[in-house]
Amino acid sequence: MTQYIVVRRDLNLSLGKLISQCVHASSINTSKLEGYYSDKPPRVVTLYVKSEAKMLKIIDECQKQRIPIGAQYDSGINEVDHNTLTVLSIGPTDIDTSKILKRVQAVTGGCDFSFKSANDTINKEVGEIFKRNPAL
């Protein structure tokens, strides 16, 4: 099983906010599957989109295909406005993942959908934190 976490790049969320929003989005669907994959957790793939409009297209396409999604809307306490769509979880699902990606690319036009690894962003930001705080 695979779960996709789709993050809006245009919001420029801090690392802590990004992580918490991803956890919230991921738990929306996984909580519905309690015990279903306890022996083998799903693979998680993090993807980015450049705008809310692109994310809404992904949501629409997933709903048409009956793929489970979890849209995370922020409560607006600190970094973004109330009800800002921040992160989307797709799955976990055992549907052929290549088909999901092809559908998503077709819906978003491909060019605004980035498969850049979240690890690249996280490693860079964590490195900056340690540069500013060598005592850590």
Peptide bond preceding 92 in cis form (omega within 30 of 0): yes
Q: Indicate the pTM of the whole model.
A: 0.70
CB atoms within 10 A of CB 88: 24
Per-residue confidence (pLDDT) for residue 130, from 0 to 100: 61
CB of 17 closer than 8 Å to CB of 43: no
Burial profile 50-80: b = 16 or more Cβ within 10 angstroms, e = fewer:
eeeebbebbbebbeeeebbbbbbebeeeebb
Per-residue confidence (pLDDT) for residue 121, from 0 to 100: 52
At the second CATH level, the architecture of 2-132 is: 3-Layer(aba) Sandwich (3.40)
What are the helix (H) ranges across the chain?
A: 15-30, 52-64, 97-108, 118-132
Q: Which two tokens stand for residue 106?
A: 């077709």
Instruction: Reply yes or no on whether the pLDDT at 80 is more than 90.
Output: yes
Parse the chain into domains and list their residue ranges.
Answer: 2-132
pLDDT tens for residues 40-76? 677 788 888 888 998 898 888 888 878 888 999 999 9
- DSSP, collapsed to helix, strand or coil, labels residue 78 as coil
Per-residue confidence (pLDDT) for residue 87, from 0 to 100: 93
